[in-house]
Amino acid sequence: MSNVEKLLQERLTAEHYERLRALDNAKMHEFVANAIELTNPESVFVCTDSPDDIAYIRDLAVKSGEERPLDIKGHTCHFDGYNDQARDKAQTKYLLSPGSELGESLNSIDKATGVQEVRSFLKDSMVGREMLVCFWCLGPVDSEFSIASIQITDSPYVAHSESILYRKGYEQFRKIGGSPNFFRFIHSEGELENFVSKNVDKRRVYIDLEEDMVYSVNTQYGGNTIGLKKLALRLAIQKASGEGWLAEHMFVMGVHGPKGRVTYFAGAFPSACGKTSTSMLPGQTIVGDDIAYFRKKEGRVRSVNVEKGIFGIIRDVNSKDDPVIHEALSNPGEVIFSNVLLDENSKPYWLGMGQELPKKGVNHSGEWIEGKKDGKGNAITASHKNARYCLNIPDLANCDPLLDDPQGVPVGAIVYGGRDSDIWVPVEQAYNWTEGIILKGASLESETTAATLGAEGVRTFNLMSNLDFLSIPLGRYIQNNLDFAAGIGNPPSVFSVNYFLRGRDGNYLNGMADKLVWMLWAELRVNGDVDAIATPTGLIPKYEDLAKLFRDNLKKEYSEVNYVEQFTIRVPGNLAKLDRVEKVYREKVADCPQILYDTYNEVRARLKAAAEKYGDCISPLDLA
C-alpha cells in the first residue's frame, strides 16, 4: 500500500475511504491526502452525486451557523465578514515559476514564495472541523466541454453554493478514470469569529496555472472561495489557449425571432452595464449569465454555460424590472442570500428592491439600525451594495431547454456592451469577425459611476470584459479570438450595444426596456431578415425596422427625431476612442497583433473621409 493510500485509509472512515477509492485516480488521491496532511481536519466527508450527500452539506451550512434559515422554505442567508465583501484583486495572484511571463498587467508572485506563504496559512487550518471533498463538473456532464473539478473546503456555505451553481461531478470523475486533466481547488475559511473569517489581513487567493490548481484561505466571500467561478475561468482561459477553444466572461441566451425561431447570442458586458438584465430580457430564454465555453464543431461555433446557477448581485432586483428573478426570490425553492438585511421575522431586504426597508435588523455588520457607522465613520447601508443571491437556473421560468445539452447551443451572434455616454450608438453590427473582435471586443471601455468609485465618467479599458480574469498575455488572447473563426464558413455576427447614451441635456436617450428592441434587431440581422445602413464603424438599423419593433414589442411609438439623435455617428468621439485605446495597447501590450493597429488606421480613414463629406456629426439619414 502506498503512503497516500495508507494516509487516506487512516484518516477517513471506511465508508468515505471506499467512496474515494471508487474513483481510480492517483493524482486526485494524492491531492486529497496532501490536503489532509496540511490542514489536519477532524473528519473528512467525501461527497458523491447522491441527493442525500447534497442535503447533508445543505443542512451542515445551517448547523454550522454559516447560513441561517429565512421566512420562505428553502431560503437561507449567509453573512461574510465586514471586510470580506468582494473579490480581493490585490491578493489574487498567479504563481509563476522562474522564466514564466504573463505581462505587467497581470498580478503575479514567485511560485516558490507564494506556495510557501499560502501553505503556511493553510497549515492546521481545519483542526476541529470537517473537510468537505466535493466533485463538480464545469459545463454539461459527459460532454466535449466537460472539465472535471475537485473542491476541498471546510466551509459548508461554499460547498452548498457550488451544489447550486455547478453540475454534480463524482460520476464525471469516474468517467475520466486515471486522467490527470482536472482542476483542483483547496480552500479554508481560516479562524472564525462570529461565524466569519477573522484574519482577512492574511486573505490569499493564489492560482497555479502549471498545476491547474487554486489555493484560497482566510476568506468566505464567494468570488474568493467558490473556486469553479472566476478562479476556474482563469485556469480555463489558459487551457483553452493551448487547445484551440475559448473561455469567456459571457452570458448565453436564446433570442426569439419570428415564427418560433431561436437564435443563440453570447455577450460580454463589464459590471453595471446590463449583462444580467440582457440575459433575462422578457420573452427570451436564458442559458447562462456569466461564463461560457466555445468550441468549433462541424463547421459551427457552439457554446455552453459553464454553470447551472446564478450568483448574482441582488441590488436593484425588483418585481418591475426583474420579474422572473424576483419571482424565484419570493417563492419556496433553494436560494442563498448573502449580505442582505434581515428583519425580526428573518425576511430579507436589499437596496433597490422596490419596498421600504426596515429601520433596524441584522446584516453583515451585525445588529443594524438606520444611521449606523463603521469604525471609519462611513455609513453602513441596510444591505451591502455587493449583496448576492444564489439560485438554480432551472428554477427560473425562462430557463432555456438546451441548458444541459452536451453539444452546446449554436452561436449566431456575439455582443459586446459598455457604459458609454457619448460615442457608441445603441446597436451596431461589425462588418466581419475581425473588425468585430477588434472594434467591439478589444476596444471595450466602460465609464465609472460616482456612486461606486467617486469619479463619474472615467472611461476604463476592459478587454472583452475579461481583463480581470486573463491568465495569458493580452496580445495572445486577442489573437486567439481572431483565429477562432478560421475554418468557420459563417462565423457568428459581432455587435456592440450601448444602453447609456446621453443627449445634450444629460438625460439617457434609451429607456431601460429598449434593449429588447436592439437585441431583436440583431436577431433579424443574423438571419438576413432586414437590411442595414453602412457607417464608418459598422452597420446600423434603418428607422422603419426599429419603429416596427418598438410598436410590436414595446407598444410604443419611436420617433424619427429619437432615431437620429441615437444613431448619429459622432466622428470626434470615435477618433478619440481609437487613440485612447491604441495608447493602452502600445504602452501595455508588447505582443499586440499588428492587425489591430492596421484596423484602427482603416477606421480612422473611413471616419475622416465621412466627416469631410457630412461633418463631424453624421445623421443616419444622410447615410441611408
- In the predicted model, is pLDDT for residue 123 greater than 90? yes
List the domains of the chain with CATH numbers.
3-67+88-243 (3.40.449.10), 247-306+402-623 (3.90.228.20), 311-395 (2.170.8.10)
Mean pLDDT across the stretch 546-555?
A: 97
Indicate which residue of 273, 390, 399, 617 is catalytic. 273
For 15-23, what is the mean pLDDT? 97
Integer angstrom CA distances of residue 617 from 505, 536, 568: 17, 12, 6
CA nearest 597: which of 610, 578, 613, 614? 578
What pLDDT is recorded for position 512? 87
Q: What is the pLDDT of residues 159-190, one digit of tens each?
A: 999 999 999 999 999 999 999 999 999 999 99
Any idea what the Cα angle at residue 338 is, between residues 332 and 341, rounded to 5°? 90
Summary mean pLDDT of the chain = 95
* Span 563-587, pLDDT tens digits: 999 999 999 999 999 999 999 999 9
Yes or no: say if 167 and 404 are a contact pair by the CB < 8 Å rule.
Answer: yes
The confidence score (pLDDT) of residue 358 equals 96
Per-residue pLDDT reduced to its tens digit, 441-471? 999 998 875 333 345 567 889 999 999 899 9
Q: What single letter denotes the amino acid at residue 232?
A: A
Residue 150, pLDDT above cutoff 90: yes
**pLDDT tens by residue, 427-443:** 999 999 999 999 999 99
Q: Label residue 103 by pLDDT band (50, 70, 90).
A: low
DSSP notation for 144-162: TT-EEEEEEES-HHHHHHH
**Which among 49, 43, 56, 38 has a CA at the least distance from the CA of 17?**
43
* Buried-state track 427-440, b at ≥16 Cβ within 10 A, e below 16: bbbbeebbbbbbbb
The amino acid at residue 548 is: K
**Per residue in 508-539, pLDDT tens?**
999 889 999 999 999 999 999 999 999 999 99
Q: Quick one: pLDDT at residue 453? A: 36
Q: Are 494 and 437 in contact (CB under 8 A)?
A: yes
Q: Is position 137 annotated as part of the catalytic site? A: no
| Residues belonging to the chain | 624
Separation in Å, CA 205 to CA 107, 197, 363: 11, 14, 26
Distance CA 507, CA 45 (A): 56
47: which 3 cell numbers?
Answer: 461527497
C-alpha to C-alpha distance for 456 and 135, rounded to whole angstroms: 43
pLDDT digits (tens, 9 = 90+) for 285-317: 999 999 999 999 999 999 999 999 999 999 999
Q: What is the end-to-end Cα distance of the chain in Å, rounded?
A: 78
The string of pLDDT tens digits covering residues 185-213 is: 999 999 999 999 999 999 999 999 999 99
232 band by pLDDT with thresholds 50, 70 and 90: very high
- The answer to whether 240 and 507 have CB atoms below 8 angstroms apart is no
Separation of alpha carbons 161 and 349, rounded Å: 20
Q: What proportion of the chain, given as a percentage, has pLDDT over 70?
A: 98
Q: What integer is the mean pLDDT of 59-74? A: 97
Identify the CA nearest to 417 among candidates 297, 279, 592, 541: 279
Measure Cα distances from 535 to 30, 570, 575 in Å: 59, 11, 14
Which of 483, 406, 473, 482 is CA-nearest to residue 441? 482
pLDDT of the residue at 452: 38
Dihedral, 588, 591, 595, 600 alpha carbons, nearest 10: 10
Say how far apart CA 171 and CA 177 lie, in whole Å.
10
SS3 content of the chain, % helix, strand, coil (to 5): 35, 25, 40
Task: Render 205-264 in DSSP notation, one character per residue.
Answer: EEEETTTTEEEEES---HHHH-TTTHHHHHHHHHHHHHHT-EEES-EEEEEE-GGG-EEE
Residue 457 pLDDT = 64
Residue of 157, 208, 218, 217 whose CA lies nearest to 184: 208
